[in-house]
Amino acid sequence: MPKRDLILLALDDETVLQLMQRALQAASYETAVASDRGALDTIIQESTPALIMIEEHFDGISGVKISREILERFPSMPMLIYARQESLVLYKGVLNSGLSGCLYPPLRNDDIIGTIERSLLRARHLGDWLRREVKRTTASLERRASVSESELKRYEFIFANIQDGVAILDEEGRIQLINRAFAVAFDLPSGDFRGKHISQVANHPDIDALLERALATPLKYHEINFDDGRIYNAQYTPISGFGLVITMQDISHLKQIDRMKNEFVHTVSHDLRSPLTSVLGYTDLVERVGSLTTQQVEFLNRIRGSVENITSLVNELLDLSRLEAGFDTRREMVSLEKILKLALDTFEGQFRLKKLTLEADIGKGLPALQGNPIRLRQLVDNLLANAVKYAPEGSTIKASLQAEDSQIIFTVSDEGPGIPQVEQGRIFDKFYRASNVPDEVGGSGLGLAIVKSIVDSHQGRIWVESTVGKGSTFCVVLPAHTG
Ligand code: ADP
């Protein structure tokens, strides 16, 4: 026969105690008796009773109060209160305290056992429910933990295997995470770099320059050149409240293609120059060796015009490749103010021809800059020539030269056709002509590429602000001489 539950009795009334003991033993329950409050606690600790029956007043203390204290430590313990007489107040107290119920005289064996069994059954159900819930919650937590762990592993795997180098930094530039491609690019030994500053780990001047320039200006791209010839394009993305992310793509092959293309263009342009000179020479000679009809003269003039066009294109290409090869090293103190004034004088005839109004705004006491005067004149001429070329007759052209924070700012504005927003980034590329260039306006698409190379070689910046149908403003910022 299985061992029956232990019922702990805490009753001051000796007669009731004996009655209960008899009834319980007859129903095969084990009983334990607590003589006072201290004994009650000891028996609970040592014997783990299945139910406790406490008298309304036990050992001079309220039975409900004792029960509440016990429930704080053993919340699922079934507890009954024995009272000498029925009382609504007591019943409410029993219910409010979460006890199982009350027993009152007359005490019949059936009532005692019935009440105890019901309480035990309810407690058992509660225990089963609790165990099931705990099991269910534990399983669900385990499932969730394993899902997020596997997701984490998946993200780690993806992050580690991204072809681009990625470094996640905090706002101070300390490494939070770098992937394999980043470590390989900088030839880093394996190890944990978390918390170290990116400059110490990567130890590369281009990374320092990227961080410095990205903080100073809204620059987002920077090239990283390695001694072994590899070139990466690095992007800098700040993430507010978190830090920043640097991503890098290896563009060495694109740079190589670009170099080959430039070399090809240079060679072809160079080789074209001599035959073009000779075509032009013979065109001039034809007229000298005999008389020509008017139509022959006209054809010769057309040949001459076309050859001159090709020659100027070839010259522009050669010029550009010289600039791109970094041959523009001549530096002297230059007054951009003087250059602009001279250029504006030269353009006067063209302004008049198209009935253009010039508004020049040249600041006072402008600082000089270190540069190549011939190249800077070329820059000014190209921008003015474009303004004249694209401006409609009778419109206004504005040229402004100002100094601000040790920088010289030169702008040229016109009321021409403007440049579509999406194409504005491309007009500084070689041969690029915007889609809205009027048919009658000729050009090679090389002028702005030359201007951009000159600006770059003077450590400046150039951009365009333009609205289609309203006009364009080209802005050039060059560092002033601050010696
Ligand atoms: P192009 O010889 O075609 O003028 P550029 O390199 O000087 O070549 O300019 C490139 C393109 O930029 C032009 O074809 C034109 O689409 C656009 N562009 C340059 N300047 C202006 C301007 N002032 N107004 C409108 N579009 C311009």
What DSSP string describes 282-338?
HHHHHHHTS---HHHHHHHHHHHHHHHHHHHHHHHHHHHHHHHTT-----EEE-HHH
Mutate to test the pocket of ligand 1, among 323, 381, 397, 433 (most ligand atoms within 8 A of CB): 433
To the nearest 10°, the Cα dihedral for 252, 253, 257, 263?
A: 50
DSSP state of 354: T
Q: How far is the CA of 445 from the centre of ligand 1 (A)?
A: 7
Per-residue pLDDT of the chain (483 residues; tens, 9 = 90+): 455 789 999 999 999 999 999 999 999 899 999 999 999 999 998 888 999 999 999 999 999 999 999 988 888 889 999 999 888 888 888 888 888 888 888 888 888 999 999 999 988 888 888 889 989 998 888 888 887 888 888 888 888 888 899 999 998 889 999 999 999 999 998 888 999 999 999 989 999 888 887 776 655 678 899 999 999 999 888 888 888 899 999 999 998 988 888 888 888 888 888 899 999 999 999 988 988 999 999 999 999 999 998 998 888 888 888 888 777 788 899 999 999 999 999 999 999 999 999 999 999 989 999 999 999 999 999 999 999 999 999 999 999 999 988 899 999 999 999 999 999 989 999 889 999 998 889 888 999 999 999 999 998 999 999 999 999 999 999 999 876
Q: What is the pLDDT of residue 38?
A: 92
| CB burial string 386-397: b at 16+ within 10 A, e below | bbbbbbeeebeb
Q: How many CA atoms lie within 13 A of 183 on its CB side?
A: 16
Index of the ligand 1 atom closest to the CA of residue 437: 16
Contacts of 333 (CB under 8 A, 6+ apart): 368, 369, 370, 481
Residue 410 to residues 180, 312, 328, 447, 461, Cα–Cα distance (Å): 45, 27, 21, 17, 11
Index of the ligand 1 atom closest to the CA of residue 445: 8
CA atoms of 405 and 7, how far apart (whole Å) = 91
Mutate to test the pocket of ligand 1, among 448, 463, 473 (most ligand atoms within 8 A of CB): 448
Q: How far is the CA of 350 from the centre of ligand 1 (A)?
A: 17
DSSP state of 421: G
Residue with CA nearest ligand 1 atom 13: 433
Q: Is the pTM of this model over 0.85?
A: no
CA atoms of 199 and 166, how far apart (whole Å) = 15
CA atoms of 446 and 457, how far apart (whole Å) = 17
Residue with CA nearest ligand 1 atom 19: 386
Q: Which two tokens stand for residue 374?
A: 């011939």
Task: Using DSSP, state whether 401 is helix, strand or coil.
Answer: strand
CA atoms of 363 and 308, how far apart (whole Å) = 39
Index of the ligand 1 atom closest to the CA of residue 444: 2
Q: How far is the CA of 138 from the centre of ligand 1 (A)?
A: 70
How many of the other CB atoms lie within 10 Å of CB of 31? 19
Q: How far is the CA of 308 from the centre of ligand 1 (A)?
A: 21
* Closest C-alpha to 323, from 463, 476, 474, 447: 447
| CB burial string 132-152: b at 16+ within 10 A, e below | eeeeeeeeeeeeeeeeeeeee
Index of the ligand 1 atom closest to the CA of residue 433: 14
Q: How far is the CA of 449 from the centre of ligand 1 (A)?
A: 10
Q: How far is the CA of 276 from the centre of ligand 1 (A)?
A: 26
* Closest C-alpha to 56, from 94, 91, 82, 88: 82
To the nearest 10°, the Cα dihedral for 123, 127, 130, 131?
A: -170
Contacts of 418 (CB under 8 A, 6+ apart): 436, 466, 467, 468, 469, 470, 471, 472
* Closest C-alpha to 219, from 466, 476, 481, 461: 461
237 — phi, psi (to 5°)?
A: -125, 110
Q: What angle do CA 385, 387, 391 make, to 5 degrees?
A: 125
In this structure, the chain runs to a length of 483
How many of the other CB atoms lie within 10 Å of CB of 53? 28
CA atoms of 445 and 281, how far apart (whole Å) = 28
Q: Which two tokens stand for residue 300?
A: 């010769």
DSSP state of 190: S
Q: How far is the CA of 272 from the centre of ligand 1 (A)?
A: 25
Q: What is the pLDDT of residue 1?
A: 44
Please check whether residue 470 is in contact with residue 449, taking contact to mean a CB–CB distance below 8 angstroms. no
**β-strand partners of 471:** 467
Cis peptide before 2 (omega within 30 of 0): no
Residue 310 to residues 305, 390, 441, Cα–Cα distance (Å): 9, 22, 17
Q: Residues lining ligand 1, judged by CB closer than 6 Å?
A: 386-387, 390, 414, 416-417, 419, 427, 432-434, 437, 443-449, 472
Q: How far is the CA of 165 from the centre of ligand 1 (A)?
A: 37
Mutate to test the pocket of ligand 1, among 419, 452, 462, 463 (most ligand atoms within 8 A of CB): 419
Residue with CA nearest ligand 1 atom 8: 445
- At position 6, the amino acid (one-letter code) is L
Mutate to test the pocket of ligand 1, among 386, 388, 411, 413 (most ligand atoms within 8 A of CB): 386
How many of the other CB atoms lie within 10 Å of CB of 401? 21
**Mode of pairing for the β-strands spanning 221-225 and 231-239:** antiparallel
Q: Which two tokens stand for residue 342?
A: 């001279």
Q: What is the pLDDT of residue 97?
A: 85
